[in-house]
Structure formats: C-alpha cells, structure tokens
Amino acid sequence: MNKNMIALLIASAMIALPVISPAKAQSTTNAVEAAKTGRIATEVFGRKWDIEFPRLSPDGNKMVYQLAQGDIKYLAWIDLTVKGDKPKIIAKSDVVKERGDRQIVAYRFVGNDTIVVTLFGRENFNGQLGDLSRLVAYDINEKSPKARPLAWEKAAGDGASILHINHEQKYMIVQRQNINDFETEVIKVTIGDGKYSMVQRSNSIVGGWFTDGKGVVRGGFGGSRNGTQKMLYRSSGSGSFKTISKAKDKDFTRSGALVPSILLDEPDMAYAISNHEGYAKAYKVNLATQEFVETIKETPGYDVIDIISNNDGNDLTGFVLFNGQTYVEYVDELSQKIQMFLDDEFGKNNARVITRSEDLSKCIIAVSKPSQLSTFYYYDLMSGEFRLLGFQSNTLKNAELNPVEAVDYTARDGMKIQAIMTYPRHRTHRKNLPVIVMPHGGPFGVKDEARFDRWAQSMAEEGYVVIQPNYRGSSGYGTEFVKEGRKPDGLGNKMQDDLNDALAWFASTGLIDANRACIMGWSYGGYATARGAQRDPDLWKCAMAGAGVYDLPKMKGFDYRSLGGFSAGYLATAEDPVQASSARFTDGDWSPILIVAAARDTRIPLEQSRTLVSRLKGSGKVEGTDFKYIEQKKGTHNLPYEDVHIEWLEESAKWANRFNPAYIASDPDQEKPVKIQTIR
C-alpha cells in the first residue's frame, strides 16, 4: 500500500493503517519449510486444531478462544494489552457421551470482564433422552472463575438462544423453551446475579422470536410438521401481534415465512433475505405489508448467504457472499478501507476481520489462502500495531499445502455444476492422475467451497486429485438448483449422475484418469459412496463410506419417529426408495467398499451399517476382500475424538492405495520417486 493511500485513510477515517510485508507477517518456520518438500502424515489432518474461534471483548483489550490438547478443548482468555500474556484457562470441554455431560459450543463477552458460554448436553426429559443447551457466565476478574448458571430453572431443551446483548448494563434477552409445555418464551437475564424476568410468554405457533436493535421483541415465526410456516409481527414493542404471513415450503427450499435479519429504525422496515425470485437476495422489506421495497444485494448465479448487522443492530455493515468461495463485502466506509488494505497485502479475500471491538478500532484478522489454515493477528487501527497471535495448527502453521480452486463442469443433461478441486502439490505434471470423488453430506442445504478441507487435503497429500462436486440439490446456487435435487429422480439417480459426470468431464481435460477413480464420503456422502459402489461398480475402483444411509425405507421410518413427517419427507425424496437403497441390492457386482460406522451416532442409526454388512455377507461378499467393516465404539456422527477421526482418514487412505494406488509404474513421477520426509 503506497503512502498516498495511507494518508488518504488517515484523513478520511483518522486511522493509520500500517504497511505490512506478508512475508514478515506470515513468518517462515522450520515446519513450513519442511512442508514444501515433505509429506504431511495423515494423522495430522485428523487432529483437533490448536486455536479456534477467537472473540474480542467490547473494548478490544481481551480475547477468549478455544485451544486443544489431544481430545480435550479448553476455553482460555488473554489480556491483549500485555504482550506475551499467557492463556488463562477458564474451563475444559469434552465430548457429550452420556446423560449429564456438557460440551462448550459457543462463547462471547458480555461487558469486558464476563464471558458467557453456551453449553450443549443431553438429559432425560419426561422419560426420553433429549439434547439441551444452557448458558453459564464466568467472571474473569475472579482468581479461579466458576461457572454461574444463567436461567436454568424451568428451562427445557433449548435454554440458550441469545437474541440481544446490552454490554453497558450487562444483560441479555434470551429465548428458551419452558419446561411446562416445551414452547418458546423470551426472558431478560442479568449477568451479575443470573436472575431473570419474563419478557414474552410463549405462543403455540411460535418456535422462534426476533427482536429489534434495542432488544424489544417484535415478532415470531413457527412451522408445522407439513412445512407450513407462519409469522407474527407488531410495529412497536407495545402493540399486539398479528399474523402477517402463512406459507408452505412445498418444495423444501426454505421459501416460507419472511424472517427479517435486521429491523431498521424506520417504521416497519427491515432487511431480509428471500429466494422468491429464484436466488437468495437481500431486500429492504415492509414487514407489516410483506412488500419487497427494493433489492439491496444480489450475486447473479449464486445466493446471498447473510446480512451483517452493525453493533446497534439497526443497520447493515455488509454481506456474506458466495461464488465458490465465501467472502464478505462491506458497505460502510471504514470496513471497506480495512478490507481493501487486507486484500492489497495478502491477496483478495485471503484475509478477513473475524471479530472487532465495539468502536471498531481493534480487531482480529484471520489470514489464509484456500490451501492454508488460518493465522490469527491482532490489529489495533489507532496505533497501527499488527501482532501475530497464533496459528490454527501449530504443526502446519501457515504452510501452503495442496492447491484448491472452484471449477465448473457440465453434467450430461447440460446443467452447470461447480466442483471444488484439490490438486496434489507433489505432482506437478497434472496429467492422467488418480482421483477421489468426495460428495459432501446433507445433501440439501449444504455445499463445499474453495477453502482448506482436511479430508480433501489428506487424500491430495497421498497423491490423488480430489473432486468435491456441489451436485444438484446443494445450497448456494438458487432454488431451481435445489429443486433439481429434490425431484423424484434426484436422490440416488441424477444426483449420483452428477458425481459420475465430474469423473468424465475432468478426464476429458486430461487432468485425471477415469480408470483410476475411487469415491469417498460421510453421512449423505456415505450414502452416495455406497450407492456408487452398488450402482456403478465399473466406474469406481474402490469406495470409502462413513456413517451412511443404505436402506432408505428404514431410514425414513427412523426420521419420522425422531424428527417428524416434515423431516422424513425432506430426507427421503427418491421416487422409489427401495431402488435407491444400496443395501437392497447386494447380490450384484460391487466396488470394494470400506464401511465405517459410529456406535454412538444419534443421527444415523447403527442399524443402517449393520444391515448393509449383513446383506453383503448374505450375498457371498468376502470380508477383507470385497468389503471391510469398522465399528467405532467411541464414535459419533461428528467424529469427535482424534483417534476415531484419524482412523477414518488412515483406513480410507489404505483402502484407496490398496485398490487404486496413487503411484503406479507408468506415472512420470514414479520413475524418479520424490524423496519426502513425513511430517507429524
């Protein structure tokens, strides 16, 4: 950044932005140098990251964050006014396994000296085991801070949805389910003593409430099991609520009630995101009349992801956008100039503000290319100080690993599909390479994007190109794209074709060898993997399926019992669920398949994997040759422990290399093998 630009910033914003050398800011380390020629051990990608989710206090002088040691995560804080201040541990967080366990899932400052933590747990409610969330407060001025429960009394499942925070008076407006009828009410909680008072009593049709920037409850919304959504609203804090909309999300595309993101000070006006015109766009709307006043942001071909509010909660600061990679676009002058400065220094969208003080003068910056994990910096705009805080991974630091980009390809019916590509960095020729196709979970409402993905990086480090197709039904590409996945011939058929077509298209470019392909995925990705192994065994040399659904009729019955009719319909949309179920067709040819199941999985019943294994055996498939089954006793749907996560990645790599070796004699880089040091 040149001196004239700095002078302009000082004059216009009274802030001196420093000139930073990226090489100096991202200091080179021995580990980074070693990674240039060395291979990262698979186990590294299964470990917990060392630093995650830093948050600043309102005055910007303190930071709270999570750090990990093995399977245990710790909540810690440091005083940023003291250089070299050591982390002070507040609490530790293990994984929820049994009734009574508690796990930290979120945290924030309320005022400058109190940290409010959201806990997740599991308890017995009227004889049935259910999930719960709770709030606790820690006063960091105490020598040994103790957890102070906030409004646990008479709370049912959700007791921790924060709608508004007042830092000066140190209170929160919190939405929670009450224990009497499990409906949703709103309370005011004072942080100092944990006392609470009623703000808004529950309403039978409201599942969630929203407030304006002053914390006044202005409306609520709710849905029925058949997808019908209603919305209540009032123009002021003293009026009565009226039903202003009733809509059915018949296509399961989140096109129901219009829920505001920001309520403006202008009467009845709000900013909201809607996909009623085919793509999610940001609008100014009149809530009372449900009129769309104007479009304030759209990105052709992609959905607008979110609207960012200012500190007062009554106007916007920017937008969260997507174009294959998620990025932020600001509308206020100061934020725009900071982002411009960061783009100049680190490359466009490689650095972003992740938390800032209330007066915006101090912030924490995360710096990373798509092939890197984040490096965190403290940035004081007034003094110009730009200080390294730490690395997301102390092993990888800021090493640039396998290159990542978003690339469009064309499916057989002409539909444009975007895929996230991860290229093996040790293989510079990029021609006729082996490939892993890795479908994401979900399948709906989820997408992959061009950023560091530990599974894709792990397999690329083995020597494979990794393709992560955002097959039809994925989010981010408009409602019609989602509907294509939800059509009767979508699940298990056209969505599966999109994976196959990625193989054909990228083979036609010369990048990959379609005869050296495996498929790998978890959850819905596990379903798609097994479906591929069963439906298209000639395409896939091997398959690695984790926590998958293999019998749709059985799964639909489970979903209906546990989640209700709406969710059952949402997750099982196949025209013929039997025909789309891999476990119903185990007599034919299959690709060799690794099946990994989590014994403690509450989302996908263990019955799914055991059924598939039983039927494979019944069809004469040989364990150890045709399939391998691993049942992780400690595992849950989210791979919570390092050993189970590492096992999944290492066993997948072994299975792939057994049936589809990353390096073969005809590869040009196999003739002169690269001598590489494995980095652990």
Strand partners, 348: none
* CATH number of domain containing 554: 3.40.50.1820
| Residue 308 domain flag | no
For 325, other C-beta atoms within 10 Å of its C-beta total: 16
- Cα-based distances in Å from 513 to 38, 145, 657, 659, 667: 25, 58, 15, 15, 11
CA 560 to the chain's CA centroid: 25
For residues 475 and 71, what is the distance between their CA atoms, to the nearest angstrom? 32
Give the 3-state secondary structure percentages of the chain, helix then strand then coil, rounded to 5: 20, 35, 45
| Residue 527 domain flag | yes
Q: What average pLDDT score do residues 634-652 get?
A: 94
For residues 506 and 525, what is the distance between their CA atoms, to the nearest angstrom? 20
User: Above 60 in pLDDT, residue 20?
Assistant: no
Picking from 518, 470, 393, 487, the residue whose alpha carbon sits closest to that of residue 49 is 393
Residues with Cβ < 8 Å from 24, sequence gap 6 or more? none
Q: For a pLDDT cut of 90, what percent of the chain falls above it? A: 74
Q: What is the pLDDT of residue 387?
A: 94
For residues 260 and 292, what is the distance between their CA atoms, to the nearest angstrom? 12
Beta strands in 23-80 (DSSP E): 39-40, 51-56, 62-69, 72-79
The tens digit of pLDDT for each residue in 342-377 reads 999 999 999 999 999 999 999 999 999 999 999 999
Going by pLDDT thresholds of 50, 70 and 90, the confidence category of residue 575 is confident
Pull the structure tokens for residue 37: 């020629």
Q: What is the pLDDT of residue 24?
A: 40
Q: What is the pLDDT of residue 46?
A: 95
Q: How many domains does the chain have?
A: 1
Length of the chain equals: 680
Q: Are 630 and 595 in contact (CB under 8 A)?
A: yes
- Cα-based distances in Å from 638 to 115, 312, 365, 523: 26, 35, 28, 9
Lowest mean per-residue pLDDT among 171-185, 374-388, 572-586: 572-586
Going by pLDDT thresholds of 50, 70 and 90, the confidence category of residue 3 is very low
| Residue 575 domain flag | yes
Q: What domain range includes position 565?
A: 404-661
One-letter amino acid at 592 equals P
| Residue 585 domain flag | yes
Q: Are 439 and 415 in contact (CB under 8 A)?
A: no
Residues with Cβ < 8 Å from 436, sequence gap 6 or more? 459, 464, 465, 466, 467, 517, 518, 519, 520, 656
The tens digit of pLDDT for each residue in 186-243 reads 999 999 999 999 999 999 889 999 999 999 999 998 876 666 788 899 999 888 999 8
- Cα-based distances in Å from 578 to 465, 492, 530, 553: 33, 10, 14, 7
- Using DSSP's 3-state secondary structure scheme, residue 570 falls into helix
Give me the chain's average pLDDT, please: 89
| Residue 495 domain flag | yes
Picking from 367, 520, 397, 405, the residue whose alpha carbon sits closest to that of residue 458 is 520
| Residue 481 domain flag | yes
| Residue 127 domain flag | no
User: Above 90 in pLDDT, residue 257?
Assistant: no
| Residue 492 domain flag | yes
Beta strands in 281-403 (DSSP E): 281-286, 291-297, 306-309, 316-322, 326-330, 351-356, 362-367, 375-380, 385-391
